[in-house]
Amino acid sequence: TSSSELQFFPSTLDRVTANLTLRVAMETTYHAPFVFYDPDTKQVTGFDVELAQAIADDLGVTLERQPRKWEQLFRDVETHDTDVVVSSVTITPERSKKAAFSAPYLKTGITIATRTTTPRILPPGKGRTLAAQRGTTAAAMATARLAQATVREFDTLDGAFAALARGEVDGLLGDAVILTAREEVKAGGYRVQPQLLSKDGYGVMMAPGDERMR
């Protein structure tokens, strides 16, 4: 191991400015309008991608985007394997115990998407089965507040939507902005309930003690 690999930096900001690179982790599965693949440009783009680039530009460093699975985002912050996470992460009291957050850059909330043939199901009662992406605030809400419904968790939002399309679940719990932007919803056949079950905000996530990055 060379001595250059054993550098110590007091903070993430010191490492970023010394190496002139900002490592930004994000989940890059389809989450329009925040992260999605544009077939015209053949690039991953979206609001979170542009925000990450703007942060790097403001610091005067090069952006290094790190594609991650959802649950890995939180592990990487704790282990300092990334500098910041820009991936539509909802700020919650529980997450704030293990990570630091910027001020919210977007306000949203959790709601339910259903097939248009499914009657209104808010609030979902006994006998209803709901899908949610594992490790999200939607999944946590289902466990804590929707005890009468049965919840099935999926590794990705795509997997949860596929279950909804097959009729295996009655509804899909998720972020209102992301659900509304889904191509399946815009094409018809699905509806997003206007009632919000929560009021949330997205923030840039970083390791505790890295508040200088804010």
Share of the chain above pLDDT 90, in %: 64
Looking at the predicted structure, is the pLDDT value of residue 121 above 90? no
> Roughly how many angstroms between the first and final C-alpha of the chain, as a whole number?
33
Q: Which pLDDT does position 133 carry in this prediction?
A: 94
Looking at the predicted structure, is the pLDDT value of residue 8 above 80? no
Q: Which of the four pLDDT bands, split at 50, 70 and 90, describes residue 213?
A: low
Average pLDDT over residues 22-29: 93
Structure tokens at 137: 């605030």
CA distance 61 to 142: 40
CA distance 164 to 70: 20
Q: Which of the four pLDDT bands, split at 50, 70 and 90, describes residue 4?
A: very low
Q: Which of the four pLDDT bands, split at 50, 70 and 90, describes residue 214?
A: low
Q: Which of the four pLDDT bands, split at 50, 70 and 90, describes residue 2?
A: very low
Structure tokens at 1: 């191991």
Buried b (16+ CB within 10 A) or exposed e, 24-46: bbbbbbbbbebbbeeeeeeeebb
Average pLDDT over residues 168-173: 92
Strand, coil or helix: 175: strand
Q: What is the pLDDT of residues 135-161, one digit of tens each?
A: 999 999 887 777 788 899 999 999 999
Q: Which pLDDT does position 3 carry in this prediction?
A: 43
Looking at the predicted structure, is the pLDDT value of residue 125 above 80? no
Task: Indicate the Cα dihedral angle 157, 137, 200, 165, nearest 10°.
Answer: 30
Q: Which of the four pLDDT bands, split at 50, 70 and 90, describes residue 189?
A: confident
Share of the chain above pLDDT 70, in %: 90
Q: What's the mean pLDDT when you consider all of the chain?
A: 88
For the chain, give the number of residues: 214
